[in-house]
Structure 1
Amino acid sequence: MPPSTNVWICAAGVIVLVIGFVAARRELQAAVGLDKLVAVARVLFAAPLAAFGAEHLVLGRVILGAVPVWMPVRVFWVYFVGIALIAAALSLALGIRVRLTATLLAVMFFLFVVMIHLPNVVAQVHDRIIWNVALRDLSFGAGALALAGSLWRGPRDRDGNVAVRIGRVCVAVVLMVYGVELILYPQFAPGVPLGKLTPSWVPGPHVWALLTGLVCIGGGVAILIRRYCRDGAKAVGLVMTLLTVVLYLPILLMASGAPAVLEGANYVWDTLLFAGAVLLVAEGAAKVRYGVALAGEAGRATADPLRG
């Protein structure tokens, strides 16, 4: 694998990250505290999509192995998904056709779960990593669904609220499962619990795994409770973003050799995408709550003839 492969993957993600921050600068400036994370939730979700889209394009022959053998023209789907991911990343970063993009992303990730991950789970039911990969993509689709639902308006308001709730529940369940795993297997790097061991240069690795696990469990429970959903999602989003910057980015920068760099890049973008998915739930929950408040005001105005 030529080193330029990793350059293209990282460059795609960084470019979309910069574009997104520039496009969201007003919302970012207006937000206060952890609401700034929610203001850039779409950007944090978009940048990894661009990176993984580029990975599909430059490593198509490798990713081909993940495509079900029964699908026709398997190579086409690898490159099609790569182009679609880059287009979706630009859409979210620039705020163009976001509702359509989020809906299609939710469908895509749910199809990944059904067509790719569930058969793998059935074939290797005792492999926790296989389960975690399936849950990870489920959370990505759930975050996109929550965003899409929050943007549905008019006669589809009720459907939008249902979509947000489904996304919220899915992300909450994944968080609680991950939290338990991080506590049970503290030797593995915190974040999305996969197969990477925490590097030896990290002090107190078991402590960080325990704390991350507790945040995931607490955040999952809070997300299930509508009143605390936004706060729980912001807390988890903050932790996952910090892990991306202070743990996985150094792992990437210290990696030597193209395969190790590719692995490091995948962990960086994977963790950031997970952070973005959780923060999209916070954004969706806020908009649904705001819509309910407006509906309540309208109802009271109708009931009171002196208001209008």
Structure 2
Amino acid sequence: MDAVQYIEFSDGNKMPIIGYGTSLADKEDSLIPAVEAAVDAGYRHIDTAFLYKNEPIIGKALQKIFSKGVVERKDLFITTKLPVNGFKEVKYFCQKSLSNLQLSYVDLYLIHCPMASKRTELDEEVYTVDETGTYQGDYTIDLVTTWKAMEELVDEGLVKSIGLSNFNSLQIQRIYDNARIKPANLQVECHAYLPQYELHDFCKKLNISFTSYGSLASPGFVEYMVNAGMGSQKERLLDDEKLKPICAKHGKTPAQVLLRYLVQRDIAVIPKSVKSERIKENIQIFDFQLDEEDNAALRAMQKNLRIFDFDFLKGMKDHPEYPFNIPF
């Protein structure tokens, strides 16, 4: 495998452009070996969140890796995220994540979503609902105040860099204009069906780096939501016929082509799998280059198909900070 590339943040810190994503991976018997396989395959960037309920498992995996001497803490870039029920208790939730991960700091801490939820006594009840199943948003939250608390985490050495996730351009600008420490990174859904050109260009102007989640249009998440009765079947990006000629041309899989497409746009990717062969395959994207013909074909696949629309609970779209009511 060729050397993994890095993205440099506005604060001078660097993040590997490919990371190992862990959303919907919360089984210890599969996630621990998967994290080990990812590090063995060359990943040096691991992405998680309090919401995923897998930080303690990742903490165990990291300690196992460190004890074997495979890598040291300084060799890994760890991202986690502030849950939407924690906007008034930023330090508390950051410290809870650090305890879960068995770390003294994380490299990147993101506000996971702008739609604050009402707080209950149960920390893990991130998306609070009432007896009718309606989302209980906290409308008293000022995102700028939450950002100021994020800045204090940097001051105290609990996190190296801070950023945002699932924010729109107006929300990003509001944070940016009022920030002492500017957002270093934005993590949003981004793939060939939802390429996010306008939002990416907007972030580049503010010197905010860009991370794609759902880079393969998240077939696992779609299946999970359909099975849970909270979503409908979406088109499978990985099965798109337009990918076949590009894959044949380069001798690569659809996943590798789709990840390479984003990386060549200077967008970080965090593909998720618990299968060791798929984990290895996803990082093998630095030994080929898509040409302009390939990129034109991939650009033509745009459908503005959003998988993660944050409308899986009744009333979510009524939140005043619902991010997808504007074009980008």
TM-score, structure 2 normalization: 0.25
Judging by fraction of residues, say which structure has more helix: 1
Judging by fraction of residues, say which structure has more strand: 2
TM-score, structure 1 normalization: 0.26
